[in-house]
Structure 1
Amino acid sequence: MAQKSEIEWTDATWNPVTGCTKIGPGCDHCYAERFAERWRGIPGHPYEQGFDLRVWPERLDQPKRWKKPRMIFVNSMSDLFHKEIPRKFIDQVFETMESAHWHVFQVLTKRSSLMRNYIRKRYSDRSVPSNIWLGVSVEDKPHASRIEHLKQINSPARFISFEPLLGPVGEIDLKDIAWAIVGGESGPQARPMAEEWVVEIRNLCERDEVEFFFKQWGGPRPKSGGRLLDGVEWNGFPWQMVPEPILERLAS
């Protein structure tokens, strides 16, 4: 399944894998699980299996058929580095991203050590292609170690999603990180996000010269609380990470 995205920081989603399992408090009220489970048991529906893990080989070539350059969020409905996804399938996903070099692919995981280990092996003799951006999700200070795993990857295109932000992250070093996205939780059981947690991250980004994007306050619906911080929108984006040929195509 691939589609135009309503996520503010990307253009489209591509899901060669769907389904996942919970590994931390950021997963407690997973929007993807909530969506997928609505369709469990409906014959022929892409989510007939609900949020159970499933790989989709027939979706592997989808980005190659999109000729106009896009920012593509990979596996918005899963985690590419789930331990039960076969390594050979992950290889095929990366082969597609490498081949479809006119797109930028945004890969986000909570399984940061597994991503680090995979990337180190795959790109042992070279850096990660510049059109593949690698990121980790961090919901609070106890999970900030994922940032250190991210820094151990040989790529300048590193980003962090602090979403849903469930607590302060404390004094963390964001040097060598290109981009930070912050957002509150949304949905019927959304947990509130304190303004001081957001301001703390924004100030760290300013200190360490990281582009800062504030996505939403969250609430019952994603747009419930708006996305103003100190009365303005924060739309920082790491344009310096976008390869020049892709920049030219996006502008055309």
Structure 2
Amino acid sequence: MAQTSIEWTELTWNPVTGCTKISAGCKFCYAEVMTKRLKSMGVEKYKDGFKKVRIHEDTLGIPYTWRKSKVVFVNSMSDLFHKDVPVEFIQRVFQVMNENPQHVFQVLTKRADRLAEIHEQLTWSHNIWMGVSVEDEKVLDRIDFLRTTGARVKFLSLEPLIGPLPNLNLQGIDWVIVGGESGHKARPMNPDWVLDIQEQCESSKVAFFFKQWGGKNKKKAGRELNGQTYDEMPDRELQRFI
């Protein structure tokens, strides 16, 4: 478990670490940068570097120890649906989430095709929110894969947004997060792209969360849009957590 500065969650929980890049959104992966830093610090969990996918059975008991209800981003440092993660281990992660209904678990993947392949082998308790990353129009099919799952809450992470998404099909989608890329080599995000997505969400009555403009100095750029912050959540009761 780790506290996090990610605006739309409270904690991160990483039963898997390491990943490989599969699309344009991965180019400047923050988890890769963070893994290098943690490895250089001698953190055992990251000793094999970013490209080695590792499962960590010793982390599975952590959610049982939290006394108060938490909102948890699962696998911020990996992708639970990576091909190198056995189905049996994914099922064990889901079992932990199933057995801790007092917490909300937010799972995010770029490997929506594998998600669709095995979703019927998983138990979708009400507290599991399932999302897919969509950085540009080339990966819109991930949304269709997401729709096939039994998740009560389905969400999109449009971050880093590196292209326009003018024709989003938001049927069955409960929440949309938008954010620009950050870092020294960050690719720019056109404000018109963000405004268009916000309007699409409003028209479809989908909760909209604007995370950041990003850039070289994301704190200075801030996260205001239209002169305000957008912190909408798919479940109003969760406003007290975020």
Structure 2 length normalisation: TM-score?
0.94
2:231 pairs with 1:235: yes
1:238 deviation in Å? 1.0
Partner of 1:98: 98
Partner of 1:70: 70
Letter in 1 for 2:29: C
Q: Show structure 2 runs of 5+ residues with no match.
A: none
Partner of 2:107, secondary structure, is strand
Using the aligned pairs only, state the percent identity.
46
Partner of 2:144: 148
Letter in 2 for 1:90: I
Contact 1:217 1:224 in 2 (8 A): no
Alignment of 1:12-91 (within 5 A): 12-40=11-39, 43=42, 45-51=44-50, 52-91=52-91
1:101 deviation in Å? 1.2
Contact 1:41 1:50 in 2 (8 A): no
Contact 1:165 1:193 in 2 (8 A): yes
Contact 2:162 2:188 in 1 (8 A): yes
CA distance in structure 2 between the partners assigned to 1:117 and 1:70 by the alignment: 29
Partner of 1:238, secondary structure, is coil
Partner of 1:173: 169
1:155 deviation in Å? 2.9
Paired positions, count: 239
Partner of 1:7: 6
2:110 pairs with 1:110: yes
CA distance in structure 1 between the partners assigned to 2:113 and 2:38 by the alignment: 32
1:44 deviation in Å? 5.2
1:42 deviation in Å? 5.8
2:128 pairs with 1:132: yes
CA distance in structure 1 between the partners assigned to 2:99 and 2:156 by the alignment: 25
CA distance in structure 2 between the partners assigned to 1:141 and 1:43 by the alignment: 39
Partner of 2:218, secondary structure, is coil
